[in-house]
């Protein structure tokens, strides 16, 4: 849709600091002319950026680029790595406390991955400066993982799969949960992220609909916010 293209163009201009933090955007007529769209299309794009917290509107005084509050806003419609999600919000990302180990499959993992073999677990924390933003646990069947993860991993697991294993992850099915202490990693994650952690259980598939790996992605909801666009359905 055209307004999504305009939204992306505005986001790129903000990332490239054509519009800097605290800047007032040009008026609607000027922007609409610049992007060669109608004012209604422009408004839809601006509304989405306002919902993400990237732009703010001051009544009677125009629309401004919000100052960086350290909040990560991410669309649930897009599958991206945790590191990419953080960097795309304009923050630097580092990782710590990474461990890689093998363990017996839990029943839940067997069901999701449709296999009964040892699992390789990649456990790591993503940080921005001194803030723990995410604690992730990736469960990979040993027949897929092989020896590729013996020295750990830096950066995107999705890119690692494609570049090193020749497996492109096409999509994921995600379940959003509140860690209630019943999960195998809940206590450890809440200890690192605090009691406002959100849990994304995600099963990742390749282009042939084969399940490749399963993830427990805990996000610190103090800093990481998710949104989804919901269209009005036909009744």
Q: Are residues 112 and 207 in the same domain?
A: yes
CA torsion sign for 177, 183, 184, 185 is positive
Domain that residue 198 falls in: 72-227
Rounded mean pLDDT of 141-156?
A: 92
Per-residue model confidence (pLDDT) at position 145 = 96
CB 107 within 8 A of CB 119: no
Helix, coil or strand: residue 231: coil
Per-residue model confidence (pLDDT) at position 235 = 63
Give the HSE-up count for residue 90: Cα atoms under 13 Å, Cβ half-sphere: 18
Q: Can you give the CATH number for the domain in which 89 is found?
A: 3.40.1410.10
The model's pLDDT over 169-184, given as tens digits with 9 standing for 90+, comes to: 999 999 999 999 999 9
Per-residue model confidence (pLDDT) at position 39 = 93
Per-residue model confidence (pLDDT) at position 72 = 67
Per-residue model confidence (pLDDT) at position 97 = 86
Q: Which of 51, 74, 54, 55 is nearest to 224 (CA)?
A: 74
pLDDT at 70 over 80: no
Q: Are residues 56 and 76 in the same domain?
A: no
- Average pLDDT of the chain to the nearest whole number: 89
- The pLDDT confidence band at residue 32, using thresholds 50, 70 and 90, is very high
C-alpha distances (whole Å) from 53 to each of 66, 71, 89, 208 are 7, 9, 11, 37
Q: Are residues 136 and 83 in the same domain?
A: yes
Q: Are residues 84 and 193 in the same domain?
A: yes
pTM listed for this prediction: 0.72
Rounded mean pLDDT of 209-224?
A: 93
pLDDT at 207 over 70: yes
Per-residue model confidence (pLDDT) at position 222 = 82
């Amino acid at each position: 849709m055209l307004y999504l293209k305009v939204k992306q163009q505005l986001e790129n201009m903000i990332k490239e600091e054509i519009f800097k933090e605290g800047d007032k955007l040009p008026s609607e007529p000027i922007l609409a002319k610049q992007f060669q769209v109608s004012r209604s299309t422009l408004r839809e794009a601006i509304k989405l950026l306002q919902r993400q917290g990237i732009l703010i509107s001051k009544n009677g005084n125009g629309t401004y680029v919000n100052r960086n509050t350290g909040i990560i806003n991410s669309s649930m419609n897009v599958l991206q790595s945790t590191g990419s999600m953080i960097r795309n919000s304009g923050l630097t990302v580092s990782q710590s406390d990474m461990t890689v180990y093998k363990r017996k499959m839990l029943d839940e993992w067997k069901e999701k991955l449709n296999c009964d073999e040892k699992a390789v677990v990649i456990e790591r924390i993503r940080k921005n400066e001194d803030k723990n933003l995410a604690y992730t646990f990736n469960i990979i069947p040993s027949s897929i993982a092989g020896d590729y993860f013996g020295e750990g991993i830096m950066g995107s697991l999705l890119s690692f799969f494609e570049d090193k294993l020749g497996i492109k992850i096409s999509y994921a099915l995600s379940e959003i949960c509140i860690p209630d202490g019943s999960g195998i990693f809940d206590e450890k994650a809440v200890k690192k992220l605090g009691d406002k952690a959100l849990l994304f259980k995600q099963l990742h598939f390749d282009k042939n609909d084969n399940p490749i790996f399963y993830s427990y992605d805990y996000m610190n909801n103090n800093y990481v916010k998710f949104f989804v666009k919901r269209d009005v359905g036909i009744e």
